[in-house]
Structure 1
Amino acid sequence: MRRSIVPVLLTVFALAGCERAGILAPDGARNVVAAPERHPILFVHGFNSSGSVWTTMIASFKADGWTDAQLVNWSYNTSQSNATTAQQIRTRVDSILLATGATRVDVITHSMGGLSSRYYAKNLGGDAKIDAWVSLGGPNHGTTWAYGCATTSCVEMRPNSTFLKSLNATDETPGAPRYATWWSACDAVIEPDNSTPLIGATNTQTACLGHSDFYKDPTTYAQVRGWVHR
């Protein structure tokens, strides 16, 4: 009698262990726990800059398993309206999705790049195509620094500009994307410092970083990587 019970008990314990490990579902079907998906990433630089600023961060992503096809940096005319850049972002995202077969992208931005990508998300259907959105030192509520230049994009970056009032109206983080911002009290370009955080986003204050340090700082990179790959 005892010999016949032992195999049954061992089988029950084994099945229970498999269920806890995620190998078998309660109905006996396989329940494979997949690793987080790596979406392709579009990097959007800021004013008077270029796609080359992302070299360090892209190298870090590649070292952590992302492929060349999944890491896209580009350059655009930073004097034009952010609404115009948003249209270019829409074209770029559609191209990335077609090339990679992905259904969504992650968007990592620096400075003014946050404004055009937010416009894309809010007004051009980008909220359905972005999984994670990141703003590093973004003038999301304007910066007094922009009073020192007169291009269309600079005027749009000024506090209380018509562009920003419209962009921030109703919902600062619309749709399905997971929004996150990083800002620094030592960022002399974004004034006031609290311009970057968005209502509805996960907002993180960094160590004392200058405006051009965000995309090179290893601690910020690790946090951004954790945000997009979850």
Structure 2
Amino acid sequence: MPSRRTLLAMAVLGTAATAMLTACATSSPPSTTERPPIVFMHGNGDSAALWQTTLWRFESNGWPRDRLFAVDQPTPLARDDDAVAQPGRSSSAESAAFLKAEVDRVLKATGASKVVLIGNSRGGNTIRNYVQNGGGAAVVSHVVLGGNPAHGIWAVRGFRENNEFSGLSRFMQQLNAPKGPNGDEVTPSVKWLTLRSDNNDKYAQPDGAWIGAPGQPTNIGFDGPALKGATNLVLPRADHREVSFSPAAFAATWQFLTGEAPRSTAIAPEASVVLGGRVLNAENLPLAGAQLAIYAVDPATGVRRGEAVHRQDIGADGRWGPFAARGDTFHEFAVSAAGGVTHIYRSPFPRSSSVVHLRPERLAAADSGANAVVVFTRPRGYFDVQRDTLRFDGQSPPAGVPPKGAGVSSSRLRIAADAPQRAVSGEFNGERIAGQTWPAAQGHVTVLELTY
């Protein structure tokens, strides 16, 4: 769990963001007695699981759980060329059609007339496209975009110009065409908030280092996610994911939607914790036939404390649960699929969640010959050596994490052949997770997955 110092820092960031936004809070905020449904749209290659802590913060401040909807888009990666079909990837039009269907479903289920849409990264492209071109303007009241590459990640002639993330693509050009009497880039009938970093978003950089072209100009500035006609807010030092999933992002979002500061950015624990989710592949498709076993583990070593506390065969929909968990217990989620086993170690869950999604990790060619492979990952943010305190198996910075910038969210440790099974730990700003190594030769992989 995060340390007291870390939690205090998170709270300070959240308070600062709230204060900055107060002066430009939207008019006619949603009623405190009838909160509208919120649909959360994830980013490129991601899933609904990334919204877990955001959902907890909304719930902790009184937003009804049954009015919060985080969705999973199949084939969430964008095509290389938006107009050319590509296996395992989706076009901007397919992504918008998926969101429309989800919004229609939510409206029918809740009886609401309007929804709020919140998106991260590519999810912002999807939301903008749906609102502008898919009929969303009639049923969407507010939109919050975190780290949305609103003007592209690059705008370079001759370089993947028809990619969804090119500022020169037809898709991006039509999204940003002037609208309304003020020539806004956003649909005028909807209230818009953008959240961006000052200069620490890997996908809003004037230099092409993070897209494989160091020293080459992208023609995109640090302010690329800002949009004319929106309320545009800067979250200092936040990275590409933290502008959506951090306490500060939540505080700014809550202020924008309600016109007042949240009671707290902390996550309030529940007395009864029930977990569930889906077992998915990288395309967000269910892994039918997989098997799940959950173990309570020692927080210092990751050693199992007895037999499995939950076992389940995964069906056609990929769903698992419900599992009644202890809110003070570290767990190992062992997923057996396609001849391998991924051992995912997680911190205690303070609240119930239906988006504890499990994606098996695959061994790579470079893992050949290793006795064990351990992945240390932070799904809701990146590692920044200049900003964060982090250590992986005693090393700081961990392997593969650059000395400057927030552009890497995982580190991979390959333990030499003939090494005995042992504990390995990862630490990030006060959250510490320990797990056990497992034999890679038998298809086992260890994952230490941070929550915060």
Matched with 2:49 is 52
- Whether the 8 Å CA contact 1:145–1:190 is kept in 2: the answer is no
Please list the CA deviations of residues 159-207 of structure 1 after superposition, one character each: whole Å capped at 9, or x if unmatched. 2111101111122211421011011021112333211111100000111
Please list the CA deviations of residues 75-111 of structure 1 after superposition, one character each: whole Å capped at 9, or x if unmatched. 1122311221111111111111111111100000000
- Whether the 8 Å CA contact 1:145–1:189 is kept in 2: the answer is no
- Whether the 8 Å CA contact 1:138–1:190 is kept in 2: the answer is no
Matched with 2:97 is 87
Match 1:183 to one of 196, 199, 224: 196
Matched with 1:156 is 164
**2:178 maps to 1:170:** yes
Please list every run of 5 or more consecutive structure 1 residues that lacks an aligned counterpart in the other structure: 1-33
**Shift in CA distance, 222/146, structure 1 to aligned 2, threshold 3 Å:** farther
Aligned residue pairs total 194
**Shift in CA distance, 60/35, structure 1 to aligned 2, threshold 3 Å:** closer
Match 1:227 to one of 246, 256, 276: 256
**2:124 maps to 1:111:** no
Matched with 2:222 is 193
Deviates further, 51-60 or 155-164: 155-164
SS of residue paired to 1:156: coil
Deviates further, 89-98 or 169-178: 169-178
In the alignment, the residues of structure 2 paired with residue 167 and residue 61 of structure 1 have an alpha-carbon distance, to the nearest angstrom, of 30
Match 2:243 to one of 214, 218, 224: 214
Amino acid at match of 1:156: E
Deviates further, 97-106 or 64-73: 64-73
Matched with 2:67 is 70
**Higher percent of residues as strand:** 2
Q: Which runs of 4+ in 1 moved over 3 A?
A: 34-37
- Whether the 8 Å CA contact 2:36–2:115 is kept in 1: the answer is yes
| TM-fit CA distance, 1:37 | 4.0
- Whether the 8 Å CA contact 1:38–1:229 is kept in 2: the answer is no
Question: When the two structures are superposed, what TM-score results if normalisation uses the length of structure 2?
Answer: 0.41
**Higher percent of residues as helix:** 1
Matched with 2:309 is none
**Shift in CA distance, 146/187, structure 1 to aligned 2, threshold 3 Å:** farther
Please list the CA deviations of residues 7-39 of structure 1 after superposition, one character each: whole Å capped at 9, or x if unmatched. xxxxxxxxxxxxxxxxxxxxxxxxxxx647411
In the alignment, the residues of structure 1 paired with residue 121 and residue 156 of structure 2 have an alpha-carbon distance, to the nearest angstrom, of 12
Amino acid at match of 1:201: A
| TM-fit CA distance, 1:61 | 0.5
- Whether the 8 Å CA contact 1:173–1:199 is kept in 2: the answer is yes
Amino acid at match of 1:193: F
Match 1:100 to one of 88, 96, 110: 110
| TM-fit CA distance, 1:123 | 0.8
